[in-house]
Amino acid sequence: MWTTLMKLDLTSVCLALFLGLIFMVLFEIFRINSRRGQIPPGPRPLPFVGTIPSFKKPLDAFRSLSQYGEISALYIGRKPVIILNTIQVTKEAFVQEAFSGRPLVDWLSKGLGIIMVTFGHSWRQQRRFALHTLRNFGLGKKSVEDRVLEESRYLIAEMLKAEGKSMDPQHDIQNAVSNIICSIVFGERFDYDNKRFSYLLKILNDHFMLSGTTAVQILNLVPFIKHFPGPHQKIMQNFTELLGFIRNEVREHKETLDPDNPRDFIDAYLLEIEKQQKSNEGSTFHEENMVMSALDLFLAGTDTTATTIRWGLIYLIQNPDVQERCHEEIVRVLGYDRLPSMEDRDKLPYTYATVHEIQRCANIAPFGVVHETTQPTKLRGYDIPKGTMIMTNLAAIFSDKKHWKHPDAFNPENFLDENGNFFKPESFIAFSLGPRVCLGETLARTELFLYITSLLQRIHFSWPPEPQSIDMDGVMGVFHFPQSFNIICRSRDTKE
C-alpha cells in the first residue's frame, strides 16, 4: 500500500482531496436541507461553520430573527440553537424544567458551581445554599442597602477627585459594584487604589470580552483544540488567576474561621462542608465546589451591574433632559444630604423608570444566558431533542413594537403609566424567569437603583470637550459592553 501511495503524483493527491472536500460539503448541504421542517425556520447556515460567523452586527441580526416567527433557529457550527423571539413563547418554555439545563463548559467550570452547571442535584443544592446564605449576609435585608449606600459615598468621592477633568469611569464603577459582592462573599471591600484588586478587575473584564469570541464558541464545540495555541489559552490563564484569588481567600478564611461567628459566604460554606461530611455521604459540598461557587458569585456580581451603570452614564449624557428631570425629582424628595433607600422608589417614579429604561436599552445580555433542554420535549409543535441549546432573543423582545411605547428610543415613559406612576411591562425580563432566574436579581436591582440615584443626586455628567465617537452598537463579548469612553463629572453642590 505504501508503495502504491509513493507512486501517486502530487496532482492526483490534490485532486482526491478536492473531490473529497466537495463530497463532504455536498453531504453537509444535504444533511441541512433534510432537517428543514424538523427544526424552526431561520437564516440558511453555511456548511460546517453555521450561522453565527456571518453576523457582522449581532444585535441587528438577532432583532431580525423575529421575521421567522415566535421561534427560529441558528447554527453554531453544525449544532442547531433554538431562539425564542417573543415574551409569550419564552414564558411557556422557561417555566418548564425541561428547558432549565445549561450546556456544560467542561474545560472551565468542570461541572461545578452555580451558573454554568447542568440542571440536577448539585445545582439545586448549591443554588439553595447560596440563596439562603446570601440572605443571611444581607441580600434582601436592610444591611445590603447600608453596604451599597456606604460604597456610593466612596464612589462619589472617587469620581469627584477628577472633577472638571476628562476621566474614564470604568474602574471606579466596577470597583464600587464589586465591593458589594466581595463584602458578602469574602467579608471585605477593596480600596480603589488597590493595585492587586485593580489587576483582578482587568482580568475579569478581559475574561468576559474574550469568552464571547467566535474562537471560544468553536472551542465549546470542539474541546480538543484547548491543547493548541489560540485566544482560548488567554481565557484559561485569566480563569486560573481568578481561581487563585478565590483559593487564597479560602485559605485565609480557614486560618481565621470562628464557627460561632461566620463572617461571610466562604465561612458559611466551610461550616456547611464540615456539617455535610458528618451526616451526608452524597453531599455536593466540597472545597472545589465552594471555590467555583464563590467565583460564580464574584463574576456575576461584578460585571453585569457595572456594565449596566456605564451604559446608563452614556444614555443620561446623551439625554440631558432625562438627567435633569431625574435630578430635580431626587432633590425634591431627598434634598442633597439624605441618600436614597429602596423605600423611596414609589416617591421617585421617573428615576425608577429611568433605571429600568437603562437596563432595557443597554440590554447587556441580548441573547440571554444560554439554556439547554434536559430531556426530549415539544414546543409549539416542534420536537426538541435533549441537549439542544436555547437562547432568549431579548434584542427582539426589548424592541417589540407591540409591547413598548417607544421601542427604538431611550425614553423612561416606557415604564410609566398614564398617571406618571411606575409600571413594569411583562416583556421586561432582564433577569430571565423560571427555575434559572438570576440568582442575584434582588442584589442587582438594589445596586442599580441606589447607585444611579445617588450619582444623579450629587453629580452632573457631561461629555468632555475633546472629540469622542460613541458607537452605540458597543462590543459583544459574553455581555454587551460599551466601548471605552471619557466623561466630565461636576459636583451638584458647587454648581447649585
Model pLDDT for residues 188-242, shown as the tens digit of each residue: 899 999 998 999 898 888 877 766 655 555 555 555 556 666 666 777 888 888 8
What per-residue confidence (pLDDT) applies to 469? 79
Q: Residue 365, Cα to own-chain centre: how many angstroms? A: 5
pLDDT value, residue 226? 60
Tell me: pLDDT of 476 over 90.
no
For the chain, give the percent of residues with pLDDT over 70: 83
Asked whether the beta carbons of 309 and 177 are under 8 A apart, the reply is: yes
38-113+365-397 maps to CATH 3.30.465.10: no
* Mean of pLDDT values over 258-283: 85
Boundaries of every domain in the chain: 38-113+365-397, 120-363+409-496
Q: What is the pLDDT of residues 139-184, one digit of tens each?
A: 555 578 889 999 999 999 999 999 999 999 999 999 999 999 999 9
Give me the numbers of helices (H) and strands (E) for the chain, helices first please. 18, 11
Predicted pLDDT at 150: 94
Give Cα separations from 27 to 46, 345, 390 (angstroms).
Answer: 13, 59, 26
pLDDT of 473 above 70: yes
Q: Is 166 exposed, middle or buried (0-12, 13-18, 19+ CB in 10 A)?
A: middle
pLDDT over threshold 50, residue 458: yes
pLDDT, mean over the chain:
85
Q: Residue-wise over 407-427: b if at least 16 C-beta within 10 A, else e?
A: eeebbbebbbeeeeebbebeb
Mean pLDDT of 475-480: 81
Reply yes or no on whether the pLDDT at 136 is more than 90.
no
User: E strands along 138-222, which residues?
Assistant: 166-167
With a cut of 80, say whether residue 477 has pLDDT above it.
no
With a cut of 60, say whether residue 331 has pLDDT above it.
yes
Q: What is the pLDDT of residue 55?
A: 62
pLDDT higher than 80, residue 269: yes
**How many angstroms separate the CA atoms of 182 and 188, rounded?**
6
Q: What is the torsional sign of CA 373, 96, 181, 339? A: positive
For residue 248, count other CB atoms closer than 10 A to its CB: 10
Amino acid 56: pLDDT: 65
Host H or E run for residue 461: strand 459-462
- Integer angstrom CA distances of residue 331 from 50, 466, 489: 53, 31, 18
Tell me the pLDDT band of 4, cut-offs 50, 70 and 90. Answer: low
pLDDT of residue 212: 60
To 10 degrees, what angle do helices 142-160 and 441-458 make? 40
Which CA distances in Å does 232 have to 55, 181, 236, 245, 246?
A: 21, 27, 6, 20, 21
Q: What is the dihedral of CA 337, 172, 198, 205, to 10 degrees?
A: 130
pLDDT above 50 (res 385): yes
Per the model's pLDDT, the better-predicted residue between 376 and 279 turns out to be 376
Q: Look at residue 282 and tell me whether its pLDDT is greater than 80.
A: no
CATH of domain 120-363+409-496: 1.10.630.10
Radius of gyration of the chain (CA): 25
**Does position 281 have pLDDT exceeding 80, yes or no?**
no
Q: What mean pLDDT is predicted for residues 335-357?
A: 95
Q: Which of 30-34, 149-153, 477-481, 490-494 has the lowest mean pLDDT?
A: 30-34
How much is the pLDDT for 227?
61
Measured CA to CA, the distance from residue 341 to residue 449 in angstroms comes to: 9
Cα–Cα nearest to 73, from 51, 98, 46: 51
Helix pair angle (170-185, 441-458), 10° resolution: 140
Cα 306 from Cα 313, distance rounded (Å): 11
Give residue 495's pLDDT.
Answer: 44
How does strand 389-392 pair with strand 79-84?
A: parallel
Alpha helices for 342-486 (secondary structure H): 349-362, 394-397, 441-458
pLDDT for res 102: 86
